[in-house]
């Protein structure tokens, strides 16, 4: 009887892991933040936005565990999220384009020797692009909230504690982000050596343009929704 329960818990967590990949693998502001920081500071520095993202998601899962999931999103609220979030994403894109030139400090940069202010800024960027990303917010409202609520209740029956169930759900979910972030950061660190041509960091330019286009699409979507309502 105990083995059947264990299998049920494992199956539930595997299903949640696969579902979490739909959020982790979606290109967006967080991916751009990882690439941007890996480009300027190396692979370890590129993982710092994921730390900020992990903190935000810890708060979200904790809120669900204590039953604060009963929030409804109206069309007007979604439009405002798209508008504000899109504007912030565009701003981050412009900041990335501002650092399009390669400085000697970038070539010699060592993540370990960077100031605490720079480290905190990278972590804060990861938290901000998560909180203000329309896709992130909509994913949690459309998929995350209800799914985690069901999972926590179901897993609790298996492991016997609400707190432990919440930890299992959180660790399983955030592992998809960390795995993807590590892959992205390592890949960026290798590619950047071939992308610095003519004194220009073309990878940073690409990230900046991507963020501006993505933010503009969010803003256009918001305007359309507000016009239709």
0.75 cut: is pTM over it? no
Confidence of residue 221 (pLDDT cuts 50, 70, 90): confident
More confident residue, 222 or 211: 222
Q: Tell whether the model's pLDDT for residue 198 goes beyond 70.
A: no
171-189 pLDDT, tens digit each: 999 999 999 899 888 888 7
What pLDDT does residue 49 have? 93
Kindly state the average pLDDT of the residues 126-143.
82
Lowest-pLDDT choice from 35-39, 78-82, 106-110, 122-126:
106-110
- Radius of gyration (Cα) for the chain, nearest Å? 19
Q: How far is CA 83 from the centre of its chain?
A: 19
More confident residue, 199 or 55: 55
* Coil vs helix vs strand at 69: coil
* The two three-digit tokens of residue 157, written as one number: 């029956």
The per-residue pLDDT of the chain, averaged, comes to: 76
What is the domain partition of the chain in residue ranges?
A: 2-75+101-204
90-120 pLDDT, tens digit each: 887 787 677 656 554 544 444 444 556 688 8
Residue 107 burial (C-beta neighbours within 10 Å; 0-12, 13-18, 19+): exposed
């Amino acid at each position: 009887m105990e083995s059947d329960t264990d299998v049920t818990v494992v199956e539930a967590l595997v299903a949640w892991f696969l579902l979490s990949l739909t959020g982790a693998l979606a290109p967006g502001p967080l991916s751009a933040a990882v690439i941007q920081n890996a480009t300027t500071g190396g692979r370890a520095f590129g993982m710092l936005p994921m730390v900020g993202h992990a903190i935000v998601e810890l708060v979200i899962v904790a809120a669900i565990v204590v039953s604060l999931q009963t929030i409804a999103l109206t069309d007007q609220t979604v439009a405002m999220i798209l508008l504000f979030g899109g504007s912030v994403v565009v701003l981050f894109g412009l900041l990335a384009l501002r650092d399009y030139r390669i400085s000697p400090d970038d070539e010699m940069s060592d993540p370990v020797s960077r100031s605490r202010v720079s480290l905190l800024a990278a972590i804060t960027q990861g938290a901000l692009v998560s909180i203000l990303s329309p896709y992130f917010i909509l994913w949690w409202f459309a998929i995350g909230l209800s799914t985690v609520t069901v999972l926590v209740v179901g897993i609790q029956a298996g492991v016997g504690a609400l707190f432990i169930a919440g930890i299992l759900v959180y660790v399983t979910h955030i592992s998809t982000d960390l795995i993807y972030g590590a892959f992205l950061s390592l890949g960026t660190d290798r590619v950047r050596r071939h992308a610095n041509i003519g004194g220009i960091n073309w990878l940073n330019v690409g990230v900046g343009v991507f963020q501006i286009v993505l933010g503009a699409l969010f803003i256009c979507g918001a305007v359309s929704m507000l016009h239709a309502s």
